[in-house]
Amino acid sequence: RQAQYRRLRNKPSVTKDGVEVALQMNAGLLVDLPHLEEAGAAGIGLFRTELQFMVASSFPRMRDQQAQYTQILDASGGKPVTFRSLDIGGDKVLPYLRSILEENPAMGWRALRLGLDRPGLLRTQIRALLHAAAGRDLKLMFPMVVEVDEFLQARGLVEKELKHLRRHGHPVPETIRLGVMVEVPSLLFQLEELLGHVDFISVGSNDLFQFFCAVDRGNTRVADRFDPLSPPFLRALKQIVDAADKAHVPVTLCGEMAGNPLAAMALIGLGYRNLSMSPASLGPVKAMLRTLDAGRLSARLLSRMEPGHRDSDIRAFLTRFAEEM
């Protein structure tokens, strides 16, 4: 199998009926970068910047952050990298960051909330990214956005830092694209407004599903109780990709679903054309999509998702479809 996947590395990522699907990879440390070539990924769709913070024994200083981002961009060989601003808090604790014990850490003081409450911290990270991407393209997205205004505040910090760097004669990135992770259901009801402000969005299906079904992603007791491949969640995912397409805003999905061939098949059927996953999943997903008739799948999947369809077991349908393939 491994050899078979390796052979696919340089083969086009196109379905049998000619639909191009970009496959990117998720990463978090410099050691992940060689996978970019090995797995034949189109870029890094999610770079989890908190990893550097989690393996350090104290807050990485601006220069250390900058050095890491520079190395990442250098090692990416010109392939696009989407950085995500710090997503600490919740289950991702930093021993050196004093925090109070929270009853519901996943819904607590984490990610962008922490960044907006401690703007010094977020601004330092933004400055490090701006320095590292000087003369190149910077793509940055913010996690756990609940309201459009939080994105506007975060963008305001980027603009402030940019102004500061320009005033002091520092080189700045050639292009800056700012995006939002869609991982809290509240954004489903602000899609149009959100899409009017962002350069791109990325669906964090791990958190989105956790909050959509109120099912703790790390709790094995309940984690398998609800299926992301069931109509309500698939309809939500379709709503997102449809809205993004209509607004001509690029959309990626970077949660674990993207790396599961059956789920990735469903995502392609819903209209997703950009998936980001762990490097090891690229081979299996590419093998699947190259044998997929996306048009036929899409028609059949969408009709099954209609309310009142007599057979709403989408997972069983997808499995049968995959077997026929």
DSSP collapsed to 3 states, 223-269: HCCCCCCCHHHHHHHHHHHHHHHHCCCCEEECCHHHHCHHHHHHHHH
212 vs 321, beta carbon nearer ligand PEP: 212
The DSSP code sequence of 181-224 is: EE-SGGGGGSHHHHHTT-SEEEE-HHHHHHHHTT--TT-HHHHT
Residue 133 CB, shortest distance to Mg ion, in Å, is: 23
Region from 125-133, 199-207, 286-294, 301-309 binding ligand PEP, contact rule CB under 6 A: 199-207
Interface with ligand PEP, residue 205, by CB under 6 A: yes
Interface with ligand PEP, residue 304, by CB under 6 A: no
111 vs 294, beta carbon nearer Mg ion: 111
Report the residue from 204, 228, 259, 271 that binds Mg ion according to the rule CB under 5 A.
Answer: 204
Interface with ligand PEP, residue 140, by CB under 6 A: no
The DSSP code sequence of 43-111 is: SEEEEETHHHHHHSSSPPPHHHHHHHHHHHHHHTTT--EEEE----BTTB--TTS-----SSGGGSS-H
Interface with ligand PEP, residue 87, by CB under 6 A: yes
Are 142 and 202 in contact by the 8 Å Cβ rule? The answer is: no
46 vs 297, beta carbon nearer ligand PEP: 46
Region from 3-11, 203-211, 244-252, 303-311 binding ligand PEP, contact rule CB under 6 A: 203-211
Interface with ligand PEP, residue 49, by CB under 6 A: no
Region from 3-11, 200-208, 280-288, 298-306 binding ligand PEP, contact rule CB under 6 A: 200-208
Interface with ligand PEP, residue 46, by CB under 6 A: yes
Residue 43 CB, shortest distance to ligand PEP, in Å, is: 15
Q: Rounded CA gap, 10 and 67, in Å?
A: 31
List of residues 6+ apart from 84 with CB closer than 8 A: 46, 47, 48, 49, 140, 141, 142, 143, 181
Interface with Mg ion, residue 50, by CB under 5 A: no
Torsion angle, alpha carbons of 153, 154, 156, 157, to 10: 130
Report the residue from 32, 150, 161, 183 that binds ligand PEP according to the rule CB under 6 A.
Answer: 183
Region from 10-18, 125-133, 202-210, 303-311 binding ligand PEP, contact rule CB under 6 A: 202-210
Interface with ligand PEP, residue 228, by CB under 6 A: no
**Interacting positions 173-202 with Mg ion (CB under 5 A):** 183
Please work out the total of residues on this chain that contact ligand PEP, with binding judged by CB under 6 A. 10
List of residues 6+ apart from 42 with CB closer than 8 A: 13, 22, 23, 24, 79, 80
Residue 293 CB, shortest distance to ligand PEP, in Å, is: 28
Interface with ligand PEP, residue 259, by CB under 6 A: no
Distances (CA, A) of 16 to 83, 263, 270, 294, 297: 32, 18, 17, 8, 12
Binding site for ligand PEP (CB under 6 A): 46, 48, 87, 183, 204-207, 254-255
Q: Which residues bind Mg ion (CB under 5 A)?
A: 183, 204, 207
